[in-house]
């Protein structure tokens, strides 16, 4: 197996044209364009002096690459942050200016700075008064500003900035985006028992698609993640424009993703139709620099629409691939109400390295026991298995035999979470896109994202389901030609 065979480019996931990518930055929708800025080291395929790379899209799936947006300067390199549109010219850079908030990083310190654009993000001017927020007492880790406009019940509004400060988050407010006043901290003494906080986000989400909303605070933990290394955690709670109060004890850990590879997630500002969509970096700091490279290294997750649903154990975050994805592939299998063996036979005719598979399986008949196994990227010696155990309700991605794995200790592993079944019906969405598998189980209540590096020849799919179960629906779409 050659190295290059193991880095098949994704078709519906964002990748840099060349060189290194890590966090998504400055996700914003403006003038009918979605923007992705991203942590980028253009000189190499390993992490180095950070720039903001840039691309735009109208559907979040097909991207047009643009020149680098922000380069290091005498104040430091350019770490992660946010972009917002200043419609009312609160900052004085002009109504409708696109503002990028980022961390200036040096070996000695980190502080927050801003740049503005009058041409839809094509060029930025750094503000001459940078930095706009320094906090010597915060320690060496003080980064990743998330900025958004908070609207109160009485129609009043102000800006919020959330900054990761080591083992806590610091919140600030401002009327003009340049002068920031501290309002609260979050995490100290309760939520801080894992690795340092990074890349926070804070946003409201409708509950059960209704009129009431709760706030989600998401953070990356650099270590202590669900599959070892980095991971993305979330809290549900209330936010009054100054203080975030979690509904549950803040020491309770809830992972947004139970795989090894979903980090630094950020939501798009101003996405139309009230949608709240986020994307993360499909990687893990434990081995990010050592994964096989194809000259480019780094992939963003599929953009995921977020919701909150009421479950017997309380409110839960749900993530579903954006609706646009269903239109991106070519339908190759579509079955309704068939025996699993018939579905398995249909899958013997399917091959691909880029597939979108939706399976709804009825497991409610008496006597149904054992496991469901959906294998993708299968070859003579390789397979990546999505497994559901009807006895324990556990769902997992098993990448132990998925392909190249010797670049990092412990990469060959199985990552699992508890799903349970929803009324005896298992709903799975599996997105295989070259070098990644993302599994959305139970309507997106449980998500597992894992990188894999199979040989390009591992293209087969198979399904094994317990006797007595019934395939309610199986749809497979080939994403091979999804981008043009
Ligand atoms: C998260 C992170 C951020 C930082 C950036 C540097 O992955 O460590 O905290 O701003 O990456 O590239």
Which of 50, 143, 223 to mutate to test ligand 1, by most ligand atoms within 8 A of the CB atom? 143
Residue 141 in contact with ligand 1 by CB distance below 6 A: no
**Tokens at 213, concatenated:** 């909303």
Instruction: Tally Cβ neighbours within 10 Å of residue 406.
Output: 8
User: How sure is the predictor about 2, in pLDDT bands with cuts at 50, 70 and 90?
Assistant: very low
Q: Answer whether residue 479 shows pLDDT above 90.
A: yes
- Are 352 and 10 in contact by the 8 Å Cβ rule? The answer is no
The residues, ordered by sequence, that sit 6+ positions from 27 with a Cβ below 8 Å of its Cβ are 34, 35, 36, 37, 82, 83, 266, 267, 268, 269, 278, 279
pLDDT at residue 163 tops 90:
yes
**Entry field: residues in the chain:** 484
- pLDDT value of position 4: 43
DSSP class per residue in 131-157: -SB--GGG-S--EEEEEEEEE-TTS-E
Residue among 180, 262, 182 at smallest CA distance from 218? 262
pLDDT at 195 over 80: yes
What's the 47 CA to ligand 1 centre distance in angstroms? 10
Give the model's confidence band at 192: pLDDT under 50 very low, under 70 low, under 90 confident, else very high: confident
Ligand 1 closest atom vs CA 198: 9
H or E element: which one contains 427?
A: strand 425-433
In tens, the pLDDT along 123-133 reads 999 999 999 99
What pLDDT is recorded for position 482?
A: 63
Which pLDDT value is given to residue 3? 41
Burial class (CB in 10 A: 0-12, 13-18, 19+), 139: middle
Q: Where are the domains of the chain?
A: 19-304, 328-478
CA distance 266 to 278: 5
Q: What is the pLDDT of residue 313?
A: 87
Q: What's the CATH code, domain 328-478? A: 2.60.120.560
Q: Which of 3-17, 123-137, 281-295 has the lowest mean pLDDT?
A: 3-17
E runs forming strands in 254-409: 263-267, 277-281, 296-297, 304-311, 314-321, 330-338, 354-362, 371-378, 383-389, 394-401
Candidate of 264, 281, 286, 289 to mutate for ligand 1, largest count of ligand atoms within 8 Å of Cβ: 264
- Rounded Cα gap, residues 264 and 230, in angstroms: 9
Cα–ligand 1 centroid distance for 53 (angstroms): 14
Catalytic residues: 23
Cβ atoms < 10 Å from Cβ of 109: 17
Q: Cα(102) to centroid of ligand 1, in Å?
A: 11
Query: How far does the centroid of ligand 1 lie from the alpha carbon of residue 81, in Å?
Result: 9
- Distance CA(414)–CA(430), nearest Å, equals 16
Q: Which H or E run contains 341?
A: helix 340-348
| pLDDT over 90 percentage in the chain | 94
Please enumerate in sequence order all residues whose Cβ is within 8 A of that of 30, keeping only pairs 6 or more positions apart, or say none. 85, 98, 120, 121, 270
Segment (H or E) for 166: none
Q: 31 in helix, strand or coil? A: coil
Q: Is the pLDDT of residue 446 over 50?
A: yes
Judge if pTM exceeds 0.95.
yes
Q: Which residues contact 194 (CB under 8 A, 6 or more apart)?
A: 221, 223, 224, 225, 233, 253
What pLDDT score was predicted for residue 138? 83
Q: Is the CB of 264 under 6 A from ligand 1?
A: yes
Q: Is 327 helix (H, G, I), strand (E, B) or coil?
A: helix
Both tokens of 298, joined, read 């780094």
φ/ψ of residue 149, rounded to 5: -95, 125
Structure tokens at 53: 């790379």
Tokens coding 388 = 């559901």
478 CB within 6 A, ligand 1: no
Nearest CA to 39 out of 291, 304, 280 is that of: 280
Percent of the chain with pLDDT over 70: 98
Q: For residue 23, which atom of ligand 1 is closest to its CA?
A: 7
* The predicted structure's pLDDT at residue 382: 97
* Interval 202-253: pLDDT, tens: 999 999 999 999 999 999 999 999 999 999 999 999 999 999 999 999 999 9
Output the average pLDDT for the chain.
Answer: 96
| Nearest-angstrom CA–CA distance, 263 and 55 | 20
Ligand 1: distance of its center to the CA of 144 in Å?
Answer: 7
Strand 296-297 relative to strand 19-30, pairing: parallel
Beta bridge partners of 431: 356, 438
- Interval 26-54 mean pLDDT: 98
Residue of 281 and 423 predicted with greater confidence: 281
Peptide bond into 131 cis (omega under 30): yes
Q: If 0-12 CB within 10 Å is exposed, 13-18 middle and 19+ buried, where does residue 464 land?
A: middle
Q: Whose CA is nearest to atom 9 of ligand 1?
A: 198
Overall fold of domain 19-304: Tachylectin-2; Chain A (2.115.10)
Q: pLDDT band at residue 483, thresholds of 50, 70 and 90?
A: low
pLDDT of residue 78: 98
């Amino acid at each position: 197996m050659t190295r290059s065979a193991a880095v098949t480019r994704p078709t519906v996931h964002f990748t840099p044209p060349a060189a290194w990518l890590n966090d998504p930055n400055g996700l914003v929708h403006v003038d009918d364009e979605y923007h992705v800025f991203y942590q980028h080291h253009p000189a190499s395929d390993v992490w180095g002096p950070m720039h903001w790379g840039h691309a735009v899209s109208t559907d979040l799936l097909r991207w047009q690459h643009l020149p680098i947006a922000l380069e290091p300067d005498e104040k430091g390199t350019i770490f992660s942050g946010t972009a917002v549109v200043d419609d009312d010219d609160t900052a004085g850079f002009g109504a409708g200016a696109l503002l990028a908030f980022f961390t200036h990083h040096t070996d000695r310190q980190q502080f927050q700075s801003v740049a503005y654009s009058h041409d839809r993000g094509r060029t930025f001017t750094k503000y001459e008064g940078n930095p706009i927020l320094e906090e010597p007492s915060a320690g060496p880790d003080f980064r990743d500003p998330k900025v958004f406009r908070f609207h109160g019940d009485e129609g009043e509004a102000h800006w919020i900035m959330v900054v990761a400060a080591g083992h806590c988050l610091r919140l600030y407010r401002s009327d003009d985006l340049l002068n920031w006043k501290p309002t609260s901290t979050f995490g100290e003494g309760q939520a801080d028992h894992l690795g340092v906080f990074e890349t926070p986000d804070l946003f409201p989400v409708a509950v059960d698609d209704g009129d009431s909303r709760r706030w989600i605070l998401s953070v990356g933990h650099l270590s202590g993640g669900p599959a070892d290394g980095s991971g993305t955690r979330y809290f549900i709670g209330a936010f009054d424009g100054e203080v975030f109060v979690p509904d549950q004890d803040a020491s309770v850990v809830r992972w947004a993703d139970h795989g090894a590879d979903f980090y630094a997630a950020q939501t798009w500002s101003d996405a139309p139709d009230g949608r709240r969509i986020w994307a993360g970096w499909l990687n893990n700091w434990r081995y990010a620099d050592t994964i096989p490279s194809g000259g480019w290294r780094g992939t963003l997750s599929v953009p995921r629409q977020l919701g909150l649903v009421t479950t017997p154990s309380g409110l839960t975050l749900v993530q579903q691939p954006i609706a646009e994805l269903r239109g991106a592939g070519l339908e190759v299998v579509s079955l309704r109400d068939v025996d699993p063996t018939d579905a398995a036979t249909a899958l013997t005719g399917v091959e691909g390295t880029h597939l979108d598979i939706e399976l709804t399986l009825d497991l409610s008949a008496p006597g149904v026991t054992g496991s469901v196994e959906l294998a993708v990227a299968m070859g003579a010696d390789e397979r990546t298995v999505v497994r559901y155990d009807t006895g324990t309700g556990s769902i997992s991605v098993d990448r132990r035999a998925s392909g190249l794995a010797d670049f990092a200790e412990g990469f060959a592993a199985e990552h699992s979470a508890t799903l349970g079944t929803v009324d005896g019906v298992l709903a799975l969405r599996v997105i295989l896109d070259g070098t990644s598998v993302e599994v959305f189980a139970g309507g997106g209540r449980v998500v597992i994202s894992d990188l894999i590096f199979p040989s390009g020849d591992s293209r087969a799919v198979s399904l094994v389901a317990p006797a007595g179960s019934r395939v309610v629906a199986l749809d497979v779409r080939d994403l091979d030609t999804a981008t043009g």
